[in-house]
Amino acid sequence: MSAVTVIYALLFYIATAILVIGVARKIFIYARTPQPLKIPTTPAPTTRLGVAARMVREVTVFESLFKSNKWTWLFGWIFHLCLFVELIWHLRYFTEPVLFFLPWLQWFINFTGYGMVVGLLGLWGRRFLVDRVRYISNLSDHLMLALLVGIGASGLAMKFLFHTDIVALKAFFLGLMSFSLQPLPADAPLLVHLTLVATLMIVFPVSKLLHAPGVFFSPTRNQVDNPREKRWVAGWSAEIDNTKKAAG
Partner 1 sequence: MATEVEAPVLGEYMKVPNIEPDSMVGSKPYVAKPDHNTPLGFPGELVDGWEQKAVTKLGELVSQSRALQVFLDSCVKCGACTDKCHYYLGTSDPKNMPVARQDLLRSVYRRHFTFAGKFFPKLVGARDMTKDVLDEWYSYFHQCSQCRRCSVYCPYGIDTAEISMAAREIMDSVGQGQKYTNEILVKVHKIGNNLGLPGPALANTLEGLEEDVKDDTGVDVKYPLDVKGAEVLLVTPSADFFAEPHVDGLIGYGKVFHAAGVSWTLSTHASEAGNFGMFVGSSANLHKVAMRIREAALDLGVKRIVVGECGHAWRVAYSFWNTLIGPFDFLDPRYPVPQHICEFTYDLIQKGALKFDKSANDDKVVTFHDSCNVARASRMGNMPGGQFVIPREIIKATCNHFYDMAPETIGEGTFCCGGGGGILTDELLDLRIKGAMPRMQALKDVIEEHGVTHMAAICAICKAQFTKIVPYYKLPMDMIQSVHGLVSKAIVLNAKE
What's the one-letter identity of residue 34?
Answer: P
By CB under 8 A, tell whether 60 contacts partner 1: no
Among residues 143, 146, 186, 188, which is the contact residue for partner 1, using CB under 8 A? 143
Among residues 7, 25, 42, 87, which is the contact residue for partner 1, using CB under 8 A? 42
Among residues 130, 153, 166, 191, which is the contact residue for partner 1, using CB under 8 A? 130
Using the minimum distance from each CB to partner 1, give the nearer residue, 101 or 135: 135
Among residues 140, 160, 162, 188, which is the contact residue for partner 1, using CB under 8 A? 140
Q: By the 8 A CB rule, do 192 and 11 touch?
A: no
Q: By the 8 A CB rule, do 190 and 158 touch?
A: yes
Q: Which of the stretches 32-40, 150-158, 168-176, 185-193 binds partner 1 when contact is defined by CB under 8 A?
A: 32-40
By CB under 8 A, tell whether 220 contacts partner 1: yes
By CB under 8 A, tell whether 103 contacts partner 1: no
Q: Whole-angstrom Cα distance, residue 143 to residue 191? A: 19
Q: By the 8 A CB rule, do 76 and 119 touch?
A: yes
Asked if residue 43 has a cis previous peptide bond (ω within 30° of 0), the answer is yes
DSSP class of residue 33? S
Q: Whole-angstrom Cα distance, residue 80 to residue 67? A: 17
By CB under 8 A, tell whether 244 contacts partner 1: no
Those residues with Cβ within 8 angstroms of residue 239's Cβ, 6 or more apart along the chain or in another chain: none
Q: In whole angstroms, how close is the CB of 192 to partner 1 at the nearest point? A: 22
Asked if residue 97 has a cis previous peptide bond (ω within 30° of 0), the answer is yes
Using the minimum distance from each CB to partner 1, give the nearer residue, 71 or 111: 71
Closest CA to 21 of 214, 204, 197, 216: 204
Kindly list the residues in this chain that would bind partner 1 in the complex (CB under 8 A). 26, 29-30, 33-39, 41-46, 58, 62, 64-65, 67-69, 72, 76, 123, 126, 130-133, 135-141, 143, 206-208, 210-211, 214-215, 217-221, 225, 227-228, 230-233, 235-237, 240, 242, 245-246
